[in-house]
Amino acid sequence: MTRLNRTICSIAEHVGIQSPRVEQKGRKHSRLIGEIGGREFQYVVPGSPSDRRSLKNLQADLRRIVKEATI
């Protein structure tokens, strides 16, 4: 698992996603898979960060998804 994938899993756990894992299907994109409230969830992430804010944007997106799923 690459450093980027470990960071993505760490962010996912921090925002409340259970059992996060990253699957690499190709070179360009990875898939974050986990559970939110007992339901499986998938999120496609880029293969590399495009700018310095990309991980913060990922965290914000995941936080919004978790919030919507738990309402």
Give me the residue spans of the domains in the chain. Answer: 3-70
Q: 14-49, pLDDT tens digit by residue?
A: 999 999 999 987 778 889 999 999 999 999 998 777
pLDDT of residue 46: 80
- How far apart are alpha carbons 5 and 23 in whole angstroms? 9
How many residues belong to the chain? 71
For residue 44, the cross-strand partners are 31
pLDDT of residue 26: 74
pLDDT of residue 39: 93
**Residue 4: which pLDDT band, with cuts at 50, 70 and 90?**
confident
